[in-house]
């Protein structure tokens, strides 16, 4: 379940999984395969992320994720991709 703080709605656990894979340049079909969900479900999660973060595209989504410290540049995480 998403939580809200000062007009910002945090992503759900599944949305965070999708977000991380988006940030690592995975395509929608790749994300679907990795998470064992349909392509349409990935598109829905991405759409919800765009709405929650009030951005227009994937670049904005990743930028806002770093600004809000939802994603971070962690050398260990970078090796995991």
Residue 16 clears pLDDT 90, i.e. is over it: yes
Residue 2 clears pLDDT 90, i.e. is over it: no
Distances (CA, A) of 39 to 18, 33, 69: 11, 8, 27
pLDDT tens digits for 24-39? Answer: 999 999 999 999 999 9
pLDDT tens digits for 46-70? Answer: 999 999 999 999 999 999 999 999 9
Reduced to 3 states (helix: H, G, I; strand: E, B; else coil), residue 3 is: coil
Indicate the angle between helix axes 13-23 and 58-67, nearest 10 degrees.
110
- Catalogue all structural domains in the chain, each as residue range(s) with its CATH number: 11-71 (1.10.10.10)
Q: By the 8 A CB rule, do 21 and 34 touch?
A: yes
Task: Give CA–CA dist 66/49, Å, rounded.
Answer: 14
């Amino acid at each position: 379940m998403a939580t809200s703080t000062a007009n910002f709605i945090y992503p759900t656990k599944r949305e965070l999984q999708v977000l991380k894979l988006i940030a690592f340049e995975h395509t929608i079909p790749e994300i679907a395969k990795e998470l064992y969900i349909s392509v349409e479900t990935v598109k829905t999660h991405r759409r919800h992320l765009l709405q929650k973060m009030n951005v227009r595209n994937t670049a904005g989504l990743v930028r806002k994720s770093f600004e809000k410290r939802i994603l971070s540049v962690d050398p260990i995480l970078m090796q995991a991709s």
